Structure 1
């Protein structure tokens, strides 16, 4: 059952409102988001993208609210101002990249507006494209002088689960470790979409009970768990599925747009 009182809807971007192979939400979804906003519902984007790529989708949708970027490492106004930022402990970040070097794997070092990798590849190029930034490459990104909000070890679908398990054994809850299929990302323990969403809601004076969140991946799990109603998609990973209250059925149409249209009828 959908909540009756909805004051804020949080939306993941890639795989949720932007489908594979597309760059912006569909016209139907764009219209549904616009109608919700016109009805007084705050719509927040919460993405793994860096700020430029997240803001581009927010502007396409005509949104006004702050955006959550980089798995929840930062919250920005649409003019680029940083409202909240959660840097990773520098010593811990160095230990993670040290492990990447032991494994002879590429790694990433990033903050809200810069993305530096030790080796370029198709995955890093695609992340730079959707994030709207130029990927920087250097042998030792940690020597760039950039204070990092996060780091990641880039591997394969076969290797990534064991890398994630090894980092969990080493760091426990002192880092927030994200188990993506081909990269294991380490960020500060309070850097997640759920915490960032709670801060935005506090700024707007919106209660958790009035929040709906929709996402499909491990970096959405904290947001889906925090919201009054967490919605996953049929293709979601196990982390999102476990955190969600409801899963939208896959169909030949647009399940997220349909859900938002139904939600509008209850506003």
Structure 2
């Protein structure tokens, strides 16, 4: 019989498709498991592609520290104060060039800029997110990167550039994870074009939404953000467990001492993880933490 592993010092988990159920909620079982490991001295850190505005409903799940690594590693957000503790993103000049090159390469591409203090969408960007003011869709995104158009102050750095492929079957809403689309020929062609256009100026992250390319500055990744957080706490990688489901989680799982993929994860995660656990619908993260607590 294999002896269960002891508890880690930190648990880092993705949200959509990993910890959250298909309806975007956190089950009572998962809430209880997170509280229990924190009571046992383990820090729990959410590491997600979500922007800050999609995190408010999770404030009661982040423990005493109250922070979330969000925007794919571009920011560390303090839920209690509604402020960013860390911000990493694109240089404006680089981003202006990337946007122009994408316009030239993909006819009718829809773009969005995600800053920690709010988004800007092309007027024709798919409108699947409720509650956003019309003003965020007012002008093409490059207008907000034009220094002459900035009347007062300097805008917050852009943490993420979103590009939506033209045509049907697009999804940009929180929690709309469609794993089968990773192998879709049209999507792969779109992703290949985007990669070719941006080159080394950005890297493409895939978190599961159909037809959506998520571009981050070269140094912005989930694993680098997690490594900075752990260094701040004096925690080594070998004392970290990470959980994920999509290719943008893979480097984080490889960096951690023990990387877990949920059962219905992308094939790249299933191949690269140390352990495969139950799906989000089956509370796989919670079951893993419960088993670890029983072994203490």
TM-score by length of 1: 0.86
Q: How does 1:1-267 map to 2 (within 5 A)?
A: 3-22=5-24, 24-57=25-58, 59-61=59-61, 63-65=63-65, 66-78=67-79, 79-102=81-104, 103=106, 104-118=108-122, 119-123=124-128, 125=129, 136-144=136-144, 145=150, 146=155, 147-155=157-165, 156=170, 157=181, 158-179=185-206, 180=208, 181-250=210-279, 253-267=282-296
Q: 1:258 and 1:120, CA in 2 relative to 1: closer, same or farther beyond 3 A?
A: same
- Which runs of 5 or more structure 1 residues have no equivalent in the other structure? none
Q: 1:20 and 1:5, CA in 2 relative to 1: closer, same or farther beyond 3 A?
A: closer
CA contact (8 A) 1:100 1:106 kept: no
| Count of equivalent residues | 259
| Higher gyration radius (CA) | 2
Structure 2 distance, partners of 1:43, 1:210, is 12
Q: 1:184 and 1:62, CA in 2 relative to 1: closer, same or farther beyond 3 A?
A: closer
User: What is the CA-CA distance between 1:228 and the residue it aligns to?
Assistant: 0.7
Secondary structure of 2:199's aligned partner: helix
User: What is the CA-CA distance between 1:171 and the residue it aligns to?
Assistant: 3.5
Structure 1 distance, partners of 2:220, 2:191, is 17
Larger displacement relative to structure 2 (240-249 or 35-44): 240-249
Q: Deviations over 1:180-231 (max 9, x none)?
A: 5411111111211111111111111111110001111122122111111111
Q: 1:251 and 1:201, CA in 2 relative to 1: closer, same or farther beyond 3 A?
A: closer
Structure 1 distance, partners of 2:266, 2:160, is 22
Q: 1:265 and 1:48, CA in 2 relative to 1: closer, same or farther beyond 3 A?
A: same
User: What is the CA-CA distance between 1:62 and the residue it aligns to?
Assistant: 5.0
Q: Deviations over 1:225-253 (max 9, x none)?
A: 11111111121123433442222245984
Structure 2 distance, partners of 1:106, 1:186, is 13
Q: 1:97 and 1:243, CA in 2 relative to 1: closer, same or farther beyond 3 A?
A: farther
Structure 1 distance, partners of 2:242, 2:143, is 38
User: What is the CA-CA distance between 1:169 and the residue it aligns to?
Assistant: 2.9
User: What is the CA-CA distance between 1:256 and the residue it aligns to?
Assistant: 1.9
Structure 1 distance, partners of 2:115, 2:88, is 10
Structure 2 distance, partners of 1:261, 1:93, is 44
CA-based RMSD of the aligned residues comes to 2.4
Structure 1 segments of 4+ aligned residues over 6 angstroms from their partners: none
Q: 1:134 and 1:213, CA in 2 relative to 1: closer, same or farther beyond 3 A?
A: farther
Structure 2 distance, partners of 1:152, 1:53, is 16
- Which runs of 5 or more structure 2 residues have no equivalent in the other structure? 145-149, 171-180
Structure 2 distance, partners of 1:115, 1:204, is 31
CA contact (8 A) 1:72 1:196 kept: yes
CA contact (8 A) 1:47 1:68 kept: yes
